[in-house]
Amino acid sequence: MLSILYPISFSISLFGLILWFYNEENPLHRRNMSTIFLGGFVAYAFSLAFADGELAFKMWILFRDLMVLGTVSTLFSFFRNSKFFFFGMFVLLIATFPFTFLKKMNNTFPQKSVTNVNKTIQSPQRALVEDNSNFVVNNLDQEGELLVDLGEKKTMRDLERIVSKYKLTFKKAFAPDDDLITDLDDYMIVNIPFNYEKDIDEIEKELLASGSVDYLEQNEIVQLTPIETIRPSKRKRAFGINDPGVQELWGFDKLRMDDLYKLLKSRKVKPQRKANIFILDTGVDSDHEDLKSNYQSYKKEYDSDRQGHGTHCAGIAAAVTNNKLGVASYAPNNDFVKVTSIKVLTDYGGGTQKSVISGMLEAADNGADVISMSLGALSNKNRKRAYARAVDYCNRKGAIVIAAAGNNNMDAAKYSPANAPGIIAVSAIDTNLQRAHFSNYVQNVPFGIAAPGVNIYSTFPKNQYKTFNGTSMACPYVAGLVGLMKSINPEIITKEVFEILEKTGKETKSTSQTGKLIQPASAIAELLK
């Protein structure tokens, strides 16, 4: 019932709003049209709120629908004084709407499931689609639903029959600088027209059976899910530094940060070079008072953050310490790390697997030592090959990749990119060293570790500071520590980093699910041996 109410109520809202604008000078008709619009929009909001789908998916649909509503109504408002153009466009809209956007809306809910994807067998010659677990995935990118890995010396011309049959369009997905160490340059992003989206399972089967495709996977949408919270009670310890915001950082107690600062000072630890921590997120406010001394601009368009998530993560990983402002991080001065941004998510917190992987390659090609990704989505396969190859590429270029375990209270092995081989996946613990109620558990991923992720106070755009929950916040806690380790020993690799973190980590009250809680002082002491 709700799936029917959703497109009908939106249509009523749209046409009511258009006629409301047209009758602006007629009080009676204007009142009637405004009533129709408001009634339709209330019904639309109700149908969207209670439809079958994840919150992140619904937020994306809401954004899409409001953009359509705003764009169309603004266009009609502009021509309302010309009856000829107005009613000409109105008739055209009525004629085309049922076959365009309304048809797309009719297939929006319930949200797509992957439970009907056929199980296939892997062979040594060709890596086929793996069996899928029974759970719902986030919506696919409507501009490119599939990532297709072409076989050696194959092109999309070899798939001409399938391309023509389903009216597929395509373009190169990734452009790594060093294409000799990866086959990601063979990947194509394939767009399926709306009329054929229902045939995606058949399209996948035909592509894999063509002999020209080594592997394919769905290009899923990823979304942020931070939760703003009330600030925790202030700590009485100053940790030997002068940043006033450390009073808000309960995590500094659990991580024994004062021991780290004492160790670095007493051992006169010097960095071999500055480690570069890349934050792949919504951008970073490069002018923030507590970040700019540690921030290195890579591209101007990445140096702003309307959403705030990326700036919050950057402060956790690399806020300037001992500057009498805001919060602090691991390095007691500006000699050890710098933080850089790559914007892989929109201002609304959405992105795709393709945008994230492209950001990973971009970071690796531009000198990343650590890549921090506080993002992800449920995966339609237990393993994501494109992510795995991207991580391998980053590792070969000298970068260690850290990702949030996810906020779904489930197995992180079903969450990408945290489930990709070679990634250090970070779960969140609360003030009592329990796994945060929302945090995914990491016992089934190769490199699972824990960090504070509840009531985390950090930087926010325009010199603000806010408190959030999430494995998004736990991830940069680990990234910042790994950045410090890489500055001291630039040659250290992921496996060695994880072994140190696990060996020196502290037991939580649910270690089997969270992994051990990082202990920075102990980790650096072990590194210095």
Task: Write the pLDDT tens digit of every residue in 121-162.
Answer: 222 222 222 222 223 334 788 889 999 999 988 989 999 999
Annotated active-site residue 133? The verdict is no
Identity (one letter) of the amino acid at 71?
A: T
Predicted structure pTM score: 0.75
Q: With a cut of 90, say whether residue 299 has pLDDT above it.
A: yes
Rounded distance, CA 278 to CA 292, Å?
A: 14
pLDDT of residue 477: 98
From 141, 149, 186, 281, active-site residue: 281
| pLDDT attached to residue 136 | 32
Tell how far CA 101 is from the center of its chain.
27
Task: Indicate the range of 139-143, 421-425, 514-518 predicted with least confidence.
Answer: 139-143
pLDDT digits over 220-240, tens only?
888 776 666 766 667 677 788
* Of 529, 359, 354, 508, nearest in space to 429 by CA: 508
Q: What is the mean pLDDT of the chain?
A: 87
As separate numbers, helices (DSSP H) first and strands (DSSP E) second, the chain gives 16, 17
pLDDT at residue 18 in the model:
80
- 478 or 17: which carries more pLDDT confidence? 478
pLDDT class of 114 with cuts at 50, 70, 90: very low
Tokens 């085309």 label which residue? 96
DSSP string covering 85-113, please?
HHHHHHHHHHHHGGGTHHHHHHTTSSPPB
Q: Mean pLDDT across the stretch 237-263?
A: 93
Q: Which of 406, 444, 449 is nearest to 424 (CA)?
A: 449
The whole-number pLDDT of residue 120 equals: 26
User: Is it the case that residue 115 has pLDDT exceeding 50?
Assistant: no
Pairing mode of beta strands 464-469, 227-228: antiparallel
* Ramachandran area for residue 463 (φ above 0: left; ψ -120 to 50: alpha; else beta): left
**Catalytic residue, candidates 149, 305, 309, 312:** 309
| 29 assigned to active site | no
**Residue 420 tokens, joined:** 């990709």
Quick one: which of 314, 308, 336, 316 has its CA closest to 251? Answer: 316
Contact 168, 190 (CB under 8 A): yes
* Res 332: pLDDT: 85
Looking at 341, 358, 416, 472, which residue is catalytic?
472
CB neighbour list of residue 296: distance below 8 Å, 6 or more residues apart: 276, 338, 339, 340
Average pLDDT over residues 366-370: 97
- Tens-digit pLDDT profile for residues 83-103: 777 778 778 888 887 777 666
Confidence at residue 126, expressed as pLDDT on a 0 to 100 scale: 27
Q: If DSSP codes are grouped into helix, strand and coil, which group holds residue 441?
A: strand
Q: What is the DSSP letter of 519?
A: -
Q: Does the pLDDT at position 213 exceed 60?
A: yes
Q: H or E segment at 522?
A: helix 520-527
